[in-house]
C-alpha cells in the first residue's frame, strides 16, 4: 500500500462527497455549489444541544464510525484497476464495512436518550434486515460471474461485456440496496420527517456535520463500488482508466442523488414485504442464471 495512496484516498473521497452534497443541493433547492460549504460553516460554529442524560461515548462512536466505515470501504475499490488495498476478498470487506452503518445509526439513536432517534434506530435495523440479503446476493452474483471476490478481478472479467448487460436484476437490486444502506431518498425512513429527523433529530453542531457527511460519503462509496461490480471498471475508449472510473462513478452518484427528490419515503413494513417476497427470489433467480452460464 503506497503512502501517497493512503493520503490521497481521504482527499479524493472528500471531494466526491462534497460534489454529491452539491448535486443534492442543486437538484432539490437550486442553491448552487456553495450551499454545502455554507452548511458546513454553520454547523461547525453551532453550539451542541444535549438531551437529558445522554451516553456521549455511544453518540461519538456512532457519529464518527459512519464516515470511518465509508473510508475503510473505499480502500478496496479500484481506480484504474487497483485499489489502495488490493484485498482478495474485497467484496466481502466492502459488505462488512457497509454493515458498520447499522451500528452507527443504532448507537447514535440509542445514545442521545431521546424517543425519536431511538425509533429511527429501530427503523434502520428493520431496514437492514430487509435489504441485506438481496444486497449480498447481488454482490455474490457479480463475484460468481468473475470467479473472484477481488474488485479488480471482477472488473477485469467484464472485458467485452459489462455485467450490467446480462445481470440487470442484480444491478437494479444493488442500486436499491445502496439507497437502503445510506438511508437515502425513498428509503430514508430512519431519518424521516414524521420523526422530526429520526436518528439525527437531536444531533447538532459538529456531530450533525459528521453524521451527514458520513451519509454522503457512504453514498459516494456505494456508487463507486457499482463501477467495478457491474460497469466494467475503468474500461472505455480514448480516456485513461481512472478517468472512466470517475465518470461512471459520477453517473451512478448523480442517479442516486436525483432519486431523493423524485420518490416518496416508503414505510418499513411495505419495503420489508417487497424485499422478502420479490427482491430475494429475483436475486436468487439471477444468481441461478449466472451460475448456469458460468458452468456451461
Model pTM?
Answer: 0.92
Q: What percent of the chain has pLDDT over 70?
A: 97
How many domains is the chain partitioned into structurally? 1
Question: C-alpha grid cell for residue 75?
Answer: 480502500
23 pLDDT exceeds 60?
Answer: yes
pLDDT tens sequence across 162-220: 999 989 999 999 999 999 999 998 999 999 988 888 899 999 989 999 999 999 999 99
The pLDDT tens digits for 112-144 are 999 999 999 999 988 988 899 999 999 999 999
Q: Judge contact between 213 and 67, C-beta under 8 A.
A: yes
What residues contact residue 182 under an 8 Å CB cut-off, 6+ apart? 101, 215, 218, 219, 222, 256
As to burial, measured by CB atoms within 10 angstroms (0-12 exposed, 13-18 middle, 19+ buried), residue 3 is exposed
pLDDT of 3 strictly over 60: no
Overall residue count recorded for the chain in this entry: 296
Q: What is the residue range of 237's domain?
A: 3-295
Cell triple for 209: 456535520
Amino acid at each position: 500500500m503506497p503512502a501517497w495512496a493512503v493520503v490521497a484516498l481521504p482527499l479524493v473521497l472528500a471531494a466526491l462527497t462534497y460534489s454529491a452534497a452539491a448535486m443534492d443541493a442543486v437538484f432539490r433547492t437550486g442553491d448552487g455549489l456553495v450551499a454545502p460549504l455554507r452548511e458546513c460553516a454553520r454547523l461547525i460554529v453551532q453550539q451542541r444541544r444535549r438531551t437529558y442524560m445522554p451516553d456521549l461515548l455511544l453518540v461519538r462512536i456512532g457519529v464518527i464510525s459512519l464516515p470511518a466505515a465509508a473510508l475503510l470501504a473505499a480502500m478496496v475499490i479500484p481506480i484504474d484497476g487497483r485499489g489502495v488495498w488490493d484485498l482478495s476478498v474485497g467484496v466481502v470487506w466492502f459488505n462488512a464495512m457497509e454493515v458498520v452503518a447499522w451500528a452507527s445509526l443504532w448507537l447514535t439513536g440509542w445514545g442521545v436518550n431521546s424517543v425519536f432517534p431511538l425509533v429511527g434506530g429501530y427503523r434502520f435495523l428493520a431496514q437492514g434486515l430487509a435489504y441485506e440479503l438481496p444486497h449480498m446476493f447481488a454482490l455474490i452474483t457479480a463475484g460468481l460471474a468473475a470467479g473472484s471476490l477481488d474488485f479488480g478481478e471482477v472488473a477485469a472479467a467484464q472485458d467485452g461485456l459489462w455485467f450490467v448487460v446480462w445481470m440487470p436484476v442484480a444491478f437494479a437490486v444493488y442500486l436499491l440496496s445502496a439507497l437502503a444502506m445510506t438511508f437515502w431518498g425513498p428509503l430514508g425512513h430512519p431519518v424521516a420527517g414524521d420523526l422530526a429527523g429520526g436518528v439525527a433529530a437531536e444531533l447538532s453542531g459538529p456531530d450533525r456535520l459528521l453524521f451527514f457527511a458520513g451519509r454522503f460519503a457512504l453514498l459516494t462509496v456505494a456508487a463507486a463500488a457499482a463501477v467495478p461490480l457491474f460497469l466494467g471498471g475503468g474500461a472505455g475508449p480514448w480516456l485513461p482508466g481512472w478517468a472512466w472510473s470517475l465518470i461512471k462513478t459520477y453517473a451512478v452518484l448523480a442517479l442516486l442523488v436525483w432519486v431523493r427528490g423524485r420518490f416518496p419515503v416508503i414505510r418499513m413494513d411495505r419495503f420489508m414485504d417487497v424485499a422478502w417476497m420479490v427482491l430475494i427470489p429475483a436475486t436468487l433467480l439471477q444468481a441461478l442464471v449466472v451460475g448456469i452460464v458460468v458452468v456451461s
